[in-house]
Amino acid sequence: MLRVKSLFVYPIKSLPAIPSTSLSIDQLGPVNDRRLMLVNEENRFISLRSTQSLVEFDVSLQNDQLILGLGSQAKTIDLTASYTEVDEFSIWNDMVKGAEVSHDLSNWISDILEKNVRLITLLPDSNRSVHPDFSQPGDLVSFADGFPFLFTTEASCDHLGSTLGMELDPLRFRPNVVIEGAEPWEEDTWRKLSINGIEFDLTKPCSRCGVPSVHPTEGSRQTEVTKGLVEHRRFGKKTYFGMNGIHRDQGMIKVGDEVQVLETGPTLAEQFEIVEASQA
């Protein structure tokens, strides 16, 4: 039987995850997931791809307060605050409405990172859409790379780790939902899931950049992880791990919930064989 093994939210994009026994789900996806983001002087997002030291921060939630810390220092962010100074920020190919949380907080983070950054929050009317090739009209997303959810399985993470001769923390892949009870790479075939009555469309396998090679707590790069993905999970010109998902309902899911697979499709290998045959 498939069950939810673990759940994670990432309140600030590219900063550490917060594990949770449950996830509340609203229009944008997991509540408090990637609703804040760091941007550079050009108002463009920064991430672990270029700033591995982001993993050194401590992040925790206390009711409607987000606690951001480093060592003995800590700052509190009121997640219910409203903002009037609106600006536009770029994330990938999207322009999104946001607001700086606080000049003092931005300066504090800038001093730590030794680069000028601002911490911004997503505004309620930002209406950032999921890519139309993989979504339905009205599907929205926060500051996540492109989709409200990322699903991975315990089996695939363990299997990849065994081929590399190392233990892999699933947080390398920054999932929201880790599922247990599957066979390695079974998730490649999933197209629609149901968890606690909430349906999810798994619309696209997640193509991976260099982030999985970043140790999730130390920030060091371990290039063997990227090499392992290239060797074992390369299809076409990209490597893949996990499935991007879009929720079709709002509500709550919990650790231990049964996961029902409602629809399946071809494996990744089969999909690419079909594409190659059509181009022959």
Out of 72-76, 143-147, 260-264, 265-269, pick the least confident: 265-269
Sorted by where each starts, the structural domains of the chain and their CATH numbers stand as 3-12+20-25+131-279 (2.40.33), 34-122 (no CATH)
Phi, psi at 171, each rounded to 5°:
-65, -15
Distance CA 46, CA 90 (A): 10
For the stretch 202-232, pLDDT in tens is 999 999 998 999 988 888 889 999 999 999 9
Sign of CA dihedral 45, 50, 55, 58: negative
pLDDT given at position 272: 78
State the pLDDT at residue 122.
Answer: 96
Distance CA 32, CA 21 (A): 14
11, 36 Cβ separation under 8 angstroms = yes
Please tell me the distance from the alpha carbon of residue 25 to that of residue 251, in angstroms, as a whole number: 5
Residue 137 CB burial class (10 angstroms; 0-12, 13-18, ≥19): exposed
For 240-263, what is each residue's pLDDT tens digit?
999 999 999 999 999 999 999 999
Averaged pLDDT, 259-270: 94
Cα dihedral 202, 185, 4, 154 sign: negative
Mean pLDDT of 84-92: 93
Q: What is the pLDDT of residues 103-159, one digit of tens each?
A: 999 999 999 999 999 999 999 889 999 999 999 999 999 999 999 999 999 999 999
- Enter the pTM of the model: 0.95
